[in-house]
Chains A and B, each alone.
Chain A
Amino acid sequence: MVQTPAPFEYERATSVEGAIAALGQHGSDARIIAGGHSLLPMMKLRLANPEYLIDINDLDELSYIREEAGEIRIGALTRHVELLESALLARHYPVFADAERVIADPVVRNRGTIGGSLCQADAAEDLSAVCSALKAKVVIRGADGERVVAMDKFHIGPYMTAVGDGEMLTEVRLPLRSGAGSAHEKVERRAGDWAIAAASAAVWIDGGTIAEAGLALSAVGPTTIHVTRAEELLRGSSPSEELFAQAGEIASADCSPVPDGRGPVDYKRHLAGVLAKRALRRATARALHQEA
Chain B
Amino acid sequence: MELHLTINGERVTRDVEPRQLLVHYIRDTPGLTGTHWGCDTSNCGACVVLMDGKPVKSCTILAAMAEGHEIRTVESLERDGQLDPVQMGFHELHALHCGFCTPGMMMTARALLDENPNPTDQEIRVAISGGICRCTGYKNIVAAIRWAAEHEATTRQEV
Interface residue A237 (Cβ < 8 Å from any Cβ of B): no
Q: A105-B129, A106-B130 are in contact. Are A36 and B65 (CB under 8 A)?
A: yes
Q: Which of B21, B41, B45, B129 contacts A4 (CB 8 A)?
A: B21
A165 within 8 A of B: no
Q: Mark B120-146 against chain A: 1 for CB-CB distance below 8 A, else 0.
A: 000000110111000000000000000
Q: Is A192 an interface residue (CB 8 A)?
A: yes
Q: How far is the CA of A104 from the CA of B56 in the complex (A)?
A: 13
Decide: A41 near B41, CB < 8 A? Known: A55-B64, A106-B126.
Answer: yes
How far does the Cβ of A43 sit from chain B's closest Cβ, in whole Å?
8
Known A6-B19, A7-B17, A110-B54; contact A36-B60, beta-carbon cutoff 8 A? yes
1/0 contact string of B16-48 vs chain A (CB within 8 Å): 011111001000000000000000111101001
B98: interface (CB < 8 Å): no
Task: Say yes or no: is B113 at the interface (Cβ < 8 Å to chain A).
Answer: no
Tell me how many residue pairs across A and B have CB atoms closer than 8 Å.
Answer: 77
8 Å CB contact of A107 from B41, B64, B108? B108
Residue interface mask A47-72, B partner, CB < 8 A = 1: 00000010101100000000000000
The answer for the CA separation of A7 and B16 in the assembled complex, in Å, is 11
Check if A4 sits within 8 Å of B130, measured CB to CB.
Answer: no
Q: In the complex, which residues of chain B have a beta carbon less than 8 angstroms from the beta carbon of A33?
A: 62, 65
Nearest A residue (CB) for B55: A107
> Chain A: interface secondary structure?
loop
Interface residues on A, range: 20 to 34
| CB of A45 to closest CB in B, whole Å | 9
Q: Are A111 and B18 in contact (CB under 8 A)?
A: no
B105 CB → nearest A CB, Å: 11
- Most B Cβ at <10 Å: residue of A6, A41, A111: A111
* Beta-carbon contact of A44 and B40 below 8 Å: yes
B65 to A107, Cβ gap below 8 A?
no
Name the distance in Å between B108's Cβ and chain A's nearest Cβ. 6
Residues of A within 8 A of B64 (CB): 10, 12, 55
A222 proximal to B (CB < 8 A) = no
Instruction: Check: B72 CB closer than 8 A to any chain A CB.
Output: no
Q: List 26 A-B contacts (CB under 8 A).
A: A4-B20, A5-B19, A7-B18, A8-B19, A10-B1, A10-B18, A12-B64, A37-B60, A40-B61, A44-B40, A44-B41, A55-B64, A58-B68, A104-B42, A104-B130, A105-B45, A105-B130, A106-B127, A106-B130, A107-B56, A107-B57, A107-B131, A108-B130, A111-B57, A111-B60, A191-B129
